[in-house]
Structure 1
Amino acid sequence: MNRVAVVSGAAKGIGQELAIQLAHRGASLALLDIADLSETCRLVEEAGGRAIALKVDVSREGDWDTAGEIVRREYGRCDILINNAGIYPNVHIDRLDFQTWKRTFEINLDSMFLSAKVFVPMMRENQWGRIVNISSTSVVTNATGVSHYMATKMGIIGFTRGLANDLGKDFITVNSVAPALTATPGTSHLPDAARESIVNLQAFKRMAVPHDIVGPILFLTSEDAQFMTGQLLAVDGGMMKVS
């Protein structure tokens, strides 16, 4: 894979594992996160890859513009964009304030729009691109305290499908992935009862780990997925079933 990939939320969890596996496949990487990326960079280098680390608040348009300028200067192009950054504040509607609502939308959904505005023009130059937006299986569960989170993750599905229509003529695919509840630092705050209730909905009775989620995302970034766009791919251990 002689590609340039941009991965947001790359400091830990699914984003970190994605960076490592893309490096194994020969991609050059731009890693974006507001947190320290030194560990991910080390692991990418151990995998034989090259990475640049960019401290980015994905809710800020200026940070995306700067990231785009650096990627163009360092690599000359962007082929793959994986929008993985997100937050998961568990707040019941009785306590949910407007600031938390807005911040969740800014990070989880606005970032998808901002990243596309920066990196789609680079993909158009080569008439090739892969965009993968990370949604969530929470949208089909009865989880409580995540109405704001669910709203953003449903919004990602809609934005993905609309953007796929806009970019089809440019041979740029846009898909979304809905992971199962995954054991990452971002979900470590959840009580055991909440984890068990979700796992019990799955065919596989265990929590996912980042490596479980990465393979299908890598497929969507590959040549093999060239005729797949506007889709939601559930990687959920058998939770979402056709009835």
Structure 2
Amino acid sequence: MGDRFQGRVAIVTGAQRGLGAEFSLRLAAEGASVVCADIGSCEQTVGRLRAAGYNAVAAQGDVQTKAGCDGIVAAALDAFGKIDVLVNNAALYGGISIDGFEAIDEAEWDRMMSVNVKGVWQMTRAAVPAMRKAGYGRIVNISSNVIFMGKPGFLHYVASKGAVWAMTGALSRELAGSGITVNALAPGYTLTDATRSMSTPDVVAALEKNILESQSVKRLIEPQDLAGAVLFLASEAAGMVTGQTMTVDGGTITG
């Protein structure tokens, strides 16, 4: 499809399915060598990429742990010798509770923060030394447009993605002068297995109806609708963009 990532190496977390698989495919199609990482196996994603003639390897690791993140980075360096792009996509979403904040289970709250917040910190901490050594890096964190909406029903998810937004700005400052940029994507509700499994079919259908009514673009978002923004933020063209959050939600959030 293109060559703007020719010679670049990208790690995408949460690449087993959904958004992570789509981001991996699109980066590879633009010439990147891609490390598809997940707590589960990414062999299916990697198989799709290799069948299309793209360069990809799988790395299995838990972003909640330093050892898991170090292992993913080591797999990237062993396979390709460097890391240019990190897409922090791994997150807990499918199957979470949709309820008032008083009813959220404490263990679910803790797991949400561990995966969605700690995981971004751990992966960034693991990948940055190689980027610093090269004097170049693009970090793209996946947040959510719910952080701008005050949306009720899943406070733990909203809080975790708000933390990702806050960390993006702070990390961009900490990495100033290093050649590494840090930005975030805030997607709207996107059609994936995770979103479709977040509740009963009736509840999901009602939610999707309300979301569609809130959008200016009158169709639900699909993973491929988000890939262009990720590719831009991960590219050399975004060299003067850092500490920013790009909202891609069909016009739900404006201004």
State how far apart, in whole Å, the 1-side matches of 2:238 and 2:111 are: 33
Q: TM-score, normalised by structure 1?
A: 0.96
1:234 matches 2:247: yes
Shift of 1:91: 3.3
| Residue of structure 1 in register with 2:232 after alignment | 219
For the residue of structure 1 that corresponds to 2:103, the secondary structure is coil
Task: Look up the equivalent residue of 1:216 and give its one-letter code.
Answer: A
Task: Count matched residues.
Answer: 242
Shift of 1:142: 5.0
1:20 matches 2:28: no
Select 1:200's aligned residue among 207, 213, 230. Answer: 213
Q: TM-score, normalised by structure 2?
A: 0.91
Query: 218-227 vs 28-37, which deviates more?
Result: 28-37
Identity percentage over the alignment? Answer: 35
State how far apart, in whole Å, the 2-side matches of 1:171 and 1:154 are: 25
Shift of 1:149: 0.3
Shift of 1:36: 2.8
1:91 matches 2:98: yes
Select 1:30's aligned residue among 18, 26, 35. Answer: 35
State how far apart, in whole Å, the 2-side matches of 1:139 and 1:201 are: 16
1:102 matches 2:115: no
User: Does the 8 A contact of 2:18 with 2:223 survive in 1?
Assistant: yes
Q: Provide structure 2 residue ranges, at least 5 long, that are not aligned to the other structure.
A: none
User: Does the 8 A contact of 2:144 with 2:161 survive in 1?
Assistant: yes
List 4+ stretches of structure 1 deviating above 6 A: none
User: Does the 8 A contact of 2:151 with 2:158 survive in 1?
Assistant: no
Deviations 1:100-150 (A, max 9, x none): 101001111101110111100100111110000000011233533210000
| Residue of structure 2 in register with 1:172 after alignment | 180
Q: Provide structure 1 residue ranges, at least 5 long, that are not aligned to the other structure.
A: none
The equivalences for 1:1-243 within 5 A come to: 1=5, 2-88=7-93, 89-92=96-99, 93-141=101-149, 143-189=151-197, 190=199, 191-242=204-255
User: Does the 8 A contact of 2:85 with 2:137 survive in 1?
Assistant: yes
State how far apart, in whole Å, the 1-side matches of 2:207 and 2:113 are: 23
For the residue of structure 2 that corresponds to 1:29, the secondary structure is strand
Task: Look up the equivalent residue of 2:128 and give its one-letter code.
Answer: V
Taking only aligned residues, the RMSD between alpha carbons, in angstroms, comes to 1.2
For the residue of structure 2 that corresponds to 1:45, the secondary structure is helix
Deviations 1:69-113 (A, max 9, x none): 222222111100000011121332232121110100111110111
